[in-house]
Chains A and B, each alone.
Chain A
Amino acid sequence: MEQVSSAITERPSIKYSELAKLPPEELEKTLKRYIPSLMPKAGVDYKVYLGKRPELREGERLVAYTLSTCPHCYALVTAVLYEKEGKVYERKVCPEHGEFEELYFGDYTTYERFRKWQRDGKGIWTPNVPLTALCPYNCGLCPRHKSHTALLNIAVTNRCELRCWYCFFYAVKAGYVYEPSLNHIRFMLREARKTLPYPAIAVQITGGEPLLRDDIVDIVRIAREEGYHHIQVNTEGIRLAFDPDIAVKLREAGTNVVYMSFDGVTPYTNPKNHWEIPYALDNLRKAKLGAVLVPTVIKGYNLHEVGSIIRFGVKHADIVRGVNMQPVSIVGRVPKKERDKLRVTIPDVLLEIEKQTDGQIRREDWYPVPTVVPISRFVEALRGKPQFELTTHFACGAATYLFWDDDGELIPITRFVDVDGVMQLLDKAAEEIASGRNKYIVTLGVLTKLGRYVDTSKAPKRFRSKRKFLSYIFNILVKHDYTSLGEFHYQTLFLGMMHFQDPYNYDVSRVQRCDVHYVMPDGRIVPFCTFNVFPELYRDRAQKFFSYEIEEWEKQTGKKLAEEVYVRNVKKLMGGEAYKRAYDGVADVFSIPYEEHVLASKKFGIPVVE
């Protein structure tokens, strides 16, 4: 294995409070100087064992080989993906830590259906780091990365007011405060805007709990100033529940949507923010700021509530724009038996949704993320310059759009739009334009044929006008008028699914196509699933390096970290009209004794006023 780079030096130590005072230009130069010393080091941070491929066993059918990592030592190893009894598994062997076997995709038929939609992006024309190590130890983005940033994450703090039992990330546990200055944040956001062929245009401000920052509104404003079209704030919603002004301020500063954790409809499944969500939604309503609900789905925990979660979304569709489910990513060392109790993959969740909605939302209604690439390619052919493309790996995510009728019937878009047909039509049109045909004639052909793929008689009543429906599509594709997309979006519920990887099911093929990235404090852009799966190499290493000591931060701000603990008043929250209204018709939350509510909160790690 070639060593990372002769340029690597010993990692220096810095005093962040001094660094934060530097003027912007000097700050940029200084931050970038630290990149070589923060990159993962071969032989120190990881090893490479690519010599052997795991064998197939009886009853197993080869699907693919891939590169993966050892969950214990992060060594790069070869893995086999195989089909057994209709499911896809991954097996890998680390010479030092033995064999690991994990469910990769819960249904082989869905795997094959999704695989057909795979398209690759145009790569990164302006890599931030030279190619000096194998993937995934070279992130930055490196020259071999295939997808541009579709959603940029920027962590603005590691402080949090919750003390969830499973979390080791927040400041008190980590032992330092990561909280980049506004100048520093501007630098990071600007770095991601420099990427070609397509700069980042969507950003998620995340943490820790970003709303703990007093200057969160300024951060949103900076993101807007730096050219981000879509800004979302990722929050547990506690402050939103109690401070109606913050929702208004966030919207006025340019926030498009709030990404809010929501793991279920009962206190048992959602002890994190079950009681606060109704109030947060009401305050978002008043502020006219939309929300996307983000459930982490875990087998044996909340998988049985995925249907209710969707119904909750539909009930609040005046303010809830989408439900984006995330099958659990298992971090830390977890024995196989325990993992099997928790593990779900995208097809498993799709199957449960089908069962729990009585077949109203079927597995076939979902499409993998890259399905929409033909839309980008068609627009690109028309406009003659690279467009935003969702070229993530087919196993990473899936989505559909959900409509509904007044009688409560759920109607996925696939009931009245032939998605396969539309995408094939656009694909063919893009190819024709690329090969020199007149783009206006081709576009006219597309518009003429588009109606064949839409059967509005099967659409919800308010969409029965074919003309109206097609006008949305025309405005988006031809006029590039995205207000149409917004208008369309407000009458539907986006249903998404994103399965972030973990050390057990890791697949380098997936990470090379990742389009959900983090910007690091030194300006590197790192895929979500290297940033979070190898925290010692990326997230924690960089954040710790650019952090305050707790004592120093407390002295500077006059705050005490230990005092930033949310204490829940369950009785008061349950007594409010918003609480009753929010769950009415979705879950019988009042049939659960008060003591059980309190216990659920406490068991999760959130103390209760009694």
Chain B
Amino acid sequence: MKVKAFSFSASLREPYPRQVTVKTAVYAVGGGSIQRLECQTRSFSIELDALDFDAEFGDTIQLTVADVVRGLASGEFECSVSECEGGNTLLKVYEVLLNGKNFKLLSAYKLSEGRLSKIYADTLTNLAPWRERLSSVSKLLDLSPQALEGV
């Protein structure tokens, strides 16, 4: 199943200042282990990628394409899109630097009715402790928490 992942750096002015950097790693999950996927990278296209960007970050870090467009008046946005070919169960790990604070967030996807559905996503505004989140994700993905330790 093909999946997109975004890594970007944004310096936004409007409606309020935000500095955010996100690095995304994608892992295929199967047989009780995870494996980082190798991906093809290209530059961001608002027409091709806006919906996927919103789906990825609208809830997790509350950043949407509308925010990016709005914030760009005197700011910057550099984004690369990785297109990864992987399995039917995927884990994404986001390293987020938001206004000087570091966070690590997780989201998980499973193939359902021919499309990848998000079955788990951390959100910055409702963030449980890391161990708790690891435990939730490992249960959902049928993995031991140890398998996730290195992400």
Q: Which residues of A line the B interface, CB within 8 A?
A: 1-2, 6, 48, 50-51, 62-67, 78, 115-116, 118-120, 122-125, 127, 131-135, 142-144, 146, 197, 393-394, 508-509, 512
Query: Do the beta carbons of A509 and B55 come within 8 Å of each other?
Result: no
A115, B71: Cα distance in complex, Å: 12
B47 partner residues in chain A, CB cutoff 8 A: 1, 48, 50-51
Determine which of B14, B59, B71, B125 lies in contact with A143 in the assembled complex, contact meaning CB atoms within 8 Å.
Answer: B59
Q: Are B50 and A509 in contact (CB under 8 A)?
A: no
Nearest chain-B residue to A144 (Cβ)?
Answer: B58
Q: Check if A65 sits within 8 Å of B72, measured CB to CB.
A: yes
The total of Cβ contacts below 8 Å across the A-B interface reads 92
CA distance in complex: A235, B139 (Å): 52
Residue pair A66, B54 in contact (C-beta under 8 Å) = no
Nearest CB in chain B: distance from A90 CB, A: 12
Instruction: Select from chain A the residue with minimum beta-carbon distance to B121.
Output: A143
- Name the CB-closest residue of B to A82: B73
Closest residue of chain A to B50, judged by CB?
A: A134
The answer to whether A118 touches B15, judged by C-beta atoms less than 8 angstroms apart, is yes
Residues of A within 8 A of B59 (CB): 123-124, 127, 131, 143-144
B46 touches A393 (CB 8 A): no
Quick one: closest A residue to B56, CB to CB?
A131
Please, which residues of chain B bring their CB within 8 A of the CB of A78? 69
* Complex contacts, B67 vs chain A, CB 8 Å: 509, 512
Q: Which of B46, B66, B73 contacts A135 (CB 8 A)?
A: B66
- Complex alpha-carbon distance, A65 and B13, angstroms: 11
Q: Contact: A144 with B64, CB < 8 Å?
A: yes
A-B contact pairs, 12 of them (CB 8 A): A51-B47, A65-B69, A65-B73, A66-B70, A67-B66, A115-B14, A127-B59, A131-B58, A131-B59, A144-B54, A197-B126, A509-B70
Could you tell me the distance in whole angstroms from the C-beta of B75 to the nearest C-beta in chain A?
A: 10
Residues in B whose Cβ lies below 8 Å from that of A67: 65-66, 69-70
> How far is A66 from B125 in the complex, measured between Cα atoms in Å?
24
| CB-based nearest A residue for B64 | A144
Which residues of chain A are within 8 angstroms of B99 by Cβ–Cβ distance? none
- Are A118 and B16 neighbours in the complex by a CB distance under 8 Å? yes
**Contact between B70 and A123, CB atoms less than 8 A apart:** no
Q: A134-B51, A146-B62, A509-B15 are in contact. List 19 more A-B contacts (CB 8 A).
A: A50-B50, A64-B71, A65-B70, A65-B72, A67-B69, A67-B70, A115-B16, A118-B15, A118-B16, A124-B59, A125-B125, A131-B51, A131-B54, A131-B55, A131-B59, A135-B54, A144-B54, A509-B14, A512-B67
Contact A125 B123 (CB under 8 A): yes
Q: Establish whether residues A393 and B66, one from each chain, have CB atoms under 8 Å apart when the complex forms.
A: no
A143 in contact with B58 given A62-B73, A122-B126 (CB within 8 Å): yes
What does the 1/0 interface line of B9-52 toward A look like (CB < 8 Å)? 00001111000000000000000000000000000001100110
* A64 contacts B73, C-beta separation under 8 Å: yes
**A123 and B66 contacting across the interface, CB-CB below 8 Å:** no
Question: Cα distance A123–B58 when bound, in Å?
Answer: 9
A131 neighbours in B (Cβ, 8 Å): 51, 54-55, 58-59
Q: Which residue of A lies closest to B52 (CB)?
A: A2
Which chain A residues lie closer than 8 Å to B50 at the CB level? Answer: 48, 50, 134
Partner of B64, one of A6, A50, A118, A512: A512
Query: With A50-B47, A143-B58, A144-B59 known to touch, is A512 a contact of B66 (CB < 8 Å)?
Result: yes
Q: Which of A51, A133, A146, A508 contacts B51 (CB 8 A)?
A: A133
- The CA of A133 and the CA of B55, in the complex, are separated in Å by 9
Docked CA distance A51–B48 (Å): 10
Residues of B within 8 A of A123 (CB): 59, 62, 123, 125
CB of A79, distance to nearest CB on chain B (Å): 9
A48 to B66, CA, bound (A): 13
Nearest-neighbour CB distance to chain B for A40, whole angstroms, equals 13
Chain B contacts for A122, CB-based, 8 A: 125-126
A residues within 8 A CB of B15? 64, 115, 118, 393-394, 509
Q: In the complex the two chains form, is B54's CB within 8 Å of A51's CB? A: no
B117 to A: closest C-beta gap in Å: 8
A299 to B136, CA, bound (A): 57
B123 near A508 with CB under 8 A, answer no
Task: Assess A509 versus B54: contact at CB under 8 Å? Given A64-B73, A125-B123.
Answer: no
A291 CB → nearest B CB, Å: 33
- List residues of chain B with CB within 8 A of the CB of A512: 64, 66-67
Assuming the contacts A50-B47, A123-B125, A144-B59, asked whether A134 and B54 have C-beta atoms less than 8 A apart, the reply is yes
Closest to B126 in A: A125
Q: Which residues of A contact B115 (CB under 8 A)?
A: 6
CA distance A78 to B68 in the complex (A): 12
Cα distance, A394 to B70, chains bound together (Å): 14
List the 7 closest pairs (A to B, CB-CB), nearest first. A144-B58, A122-B125, A143-B59, A64-B14, A118-B15, A64-B73, A508-B66
Q: In the assembled complex, how far is the CB of residue A408 from the closest CB belonging to chain B, in whole angstroms?
A: 39
The residue among A118, A143, A197 with the most chain B CB atoms within 10 A of its own CB is A143
A67 to B51, CA, bound (A): 13
Least distance between A497 CB and chain B CB atoms (Å): 18
Chain A minimum-CB-distance residue to B63 = A144
What residues of chain A lie closer than 8 Å to B70, measured between beta carbons?
64-67, 509
A1–B114 alpha-carbon span in the complex (Å)? 19
A135 to B72, CA, bound (A): 18
B69 touches A135 (CB 8 A): no
Specify the chain B residue showing the minimal Cβ separation from A50. Answer: B46
Q: Which residues of B lie under 8 Å from residue A124 when comparing CB positions? A: 59
Query: What are the residues of chain B within 8 A of A144 when measuring CB–CB?
Result: 54, 58-59, 62, 64
A78 and B73 alpha carbons, distance in the complex (Å): 13
**Which residues on A sit within 8 Å (CB–CB) of B123?**
123, 125
Closest chain B residue, CB of each to CB of A197: B126
A127 to B13, CA, bound (A): 28
Is A120 a contact of B66 with CB atoms below 8 Å?
no
CB distance from B116 to the nearest CB of A (A): 12
Minimal beta-carbon separation of B84 from chain A (angstroms) = 18
Minimum CB–CB distance from A118 to chain B (whole Å) comes to 4
Distance, CA A125 to CA B60, complexed state (A): 10
